[in-house]
Amino acid sequence: MVAEKVFTQLRRGTLEYCVLALLQGEERYGFDLVKELGEIDGMVTTEGTIYPLLARLRREGLVETSWRESESGPPRRYYRSTASGGQALADFTADWERFRTSVDAILRRGNEGRRK
């Protein structure tokens, strides 16, 4: 696919906000979060790289974590969004909507030009 590279970049840029979005008002443990993201079409190619991403969000104070026992196995690291995580998500969402509208408009113009 020609656009493969572009999508790799897009994925890289947007994945952390998708993670933050899944953590709003809800706590999740790593495996659960990874599986949830895996179900979004085209979002995750290598599940393992989500863990370094989560670690970075933690370093940046956008999420916080706590360990808790699980009934069915090893203890789980739970992630929840902090207030600044929520703010970062809100900022990104506004920028993303503007960006998406602009790109959609230009692509539409291109496609109309092609049909002429």
Based on the shown chain and the rule CB under 8 A, indicate whether residue 56 belongs to the binding site for other proteins.
yes
How near is the Cβ of 106 to other proteins at its closest, in Å? 31
Residue type, 11: R
Token digits of residue 12: 């890289």
Answer for the pair 67, 77: CB distance below 8 angstroms, yes or no: yes
Answer for the pair 44, 30: CB distance below 8 angstroms, yes or no: no
How near is the Cβ of 70 to other proteins at its closest, in Å? 8
Rounded CA-CA distance 61/84 in Å is: 7
Neighbours of 83 (CB within 10 A): 9
Based on the shown chain and the rule CB under 8 A, indicate whether residue 42 belongs to the binding site for other proteins.
no
Can you name the residues that pair with 64 across neighbouring β-strands?
80
Based on the shown chain and the rule CB under 8 A, indicate whether residue 13 belongs to the binding site for other proteins.
no
Q: Which CB atom, from 10 or from 107, has the smaller least distance to other proteins?
A: 10
Candidates 14, 77, 80, 86: give the one binding other proteins (CB under 8 A).
77
Candidates 14, 30, 36, 64: give the one binding other proteins (CB under 8 A).
30
Total number of residues shown for the chain: 116
Interface positions with other proteins (CB under 8 A): 29-31, 34, 38, 45-49, 51-56, 72-77
